[in-house]
Structure 1
Amino acid sequence: MEKKKQRLFVRTVILFLLVGALVYTLYANFNKDNNSAAKKGSEAPDFVLTDLEGNKHKLSDYKGQGVFLNFWGTWCKPCEREMPYMDNQYKAYKDKGVQILAVNVGESNYSVQNFVDRHKLSFPVLIDKDSQVQTAYDIDPLPFTFLIDKDGKIVDTVKGELTEEIIKNHMERIKPN
């Protein structure tokens, strides 16, 4: 009789732990968007990433300028199609106070460098090796772009592939006066 009570107690504790884990998981998933630090109207989470030349880029160092922050991958066909458009607009806006930072999501320097060379990209390409920035910005799917104003606030977020005209319009939106 004593063993039956002990087994019932252990099973009850395990059941409560499982129910607690389920409730927590559901709560966390339903409130994920509300807790995201990287959303429209909020301060853009700061980060430091290294580009292909070994230079460090800290997002907060770009205050005073608009930042077109794009997350991408070499394997992502929509990302590949929008890169030449981004490069054209970077050349047009970099002297007008708008920068492009293209954050690759954890690929090797070799594959990213090959991609950059093949497309002759001139804007800074950063690599998020351990996916910390991707996680902080809650990126999914690629490509994903954040428009950040001169004060470091997120003006808008854009999921998916962009045309050259749309990129130009976004650059105008974040261009400092």
Structure 2
Amino acid sequence: MAAKILELDTSERKGKEPNPFGKPASAFVGKPAKDFEVVNLKGEKLSLAEYRGQVVLLDFWATWCAPCRAEMPHLKKTYAKYREQDFEIIGISRDMGKPPLEAYIAQEEITWPQYWDADNRICNLYNVRSFPSTFLIDGEGVVRKTNLRGHRLETAVAALVKENAAKKAAEKAETDSQ
């Protein structure tokens, strides 16, 4: 009898309940990145819109996340290689407080902008439910790739940086010819 009730209950609900986790990261690919405006750890205003024209990696992470910490050397290498080519990383941390985050950033000499998402606002905006999560955004502000790491991330950044530079060169050539 209980099995029959559960069976009926499940079959009647199937597909009707909203997904509590929201859209997967891949659902953002090909769509404009959601803009946000926050104050970074240095007390400076940080807006995603300010980075239009650059390739941007949104890196959702935390110091307590072992995979995030393992990925940090790859991020530092990619950032060092491409930061002078219109590439930026914006770190969005879900640490339990600012002190451990600030200590880790100082210890690891992380130089890209960081935001402590204390109220989960930006994580919710991008439906981030696990760490690390990344969103690679092109110069037009469109999410092109999600959740890449290591060599795959560096390869995607290299391709987008090259594409972005070609678009800028074409725009400049068109402007110069007018």
SS in 2 for 1:84: helix
Partner of 1:141: 130
SS in 1 for 2:19: helix
Distance 2:153 2:57 in 1: 9
Partner of 1:7: none
Among residues 24, 28, 43, which one is paired with 2:18 in the alignment?
28
2:45 is equivalent to residue 59 of structure 1 = no
SS in 2 for 1:70: strand
- Deviation (angstroms), 1:50: 2.1
Distance 1:105 1:58 in 2: 18
Q: Which has the larger radius of gyration?
A: 1
- Deviation (angstroms), 1:27: 3.2
Q: What is the TM-score of this pair, normalised by structure 1?
A: 0.77
SS in 2 for 1:95: helix
Partner of 1:122: 111
Q: Structure 1 residue runs of 4+, over 4 Å off?
A: none
**Amino acid of the structure 2 residue aligned with 1:72:** W
Partner of 1:155: 144
Distance 1:32 1:168 in 2: 28
Is the alpha carbon distance of 1:141 and 1:37 closer, same or farther for their aligned partners in structure 2, counting shifts above 3 Å? Answer: closer
**Amino acid of the structure 2 residue aligned with 1:60:** A
Q: How many residues align?
A: 153
Distance 2:36 2:87 in 1: 18
CA contact (8 A) 2:31 2:142 kept: yes
CA contact (8 A) 2:138 2:160 kept: yes
Provide the aligned C-alpha RMSD in A. Answer: 2.6
2:159 is equivalent to residue 173 of structure 1 = yes
Q: What is the TM-score of this pair, normalised by structure 2?
A: 0.76
SS in 1 for 2:64: coil
| Structure 1: gaps spanning 5 or more residues | 1-18
CA contact (8 A) 1:48 1:57 kept: yes
Partner of 2:38: 49
Partner of 1:13: none
- Deviation (angstroms), 1:30: 8.3
CA contact (8 A) 2:21 2:129 kept: no
CA contact (8 A) 2:63 2:101 kept: yes
CA contact (8 A) 2:56 2:138 kept: yes
Partner of 2:74: 85
CA contact (8 A) 1:38 1:154 kept: no
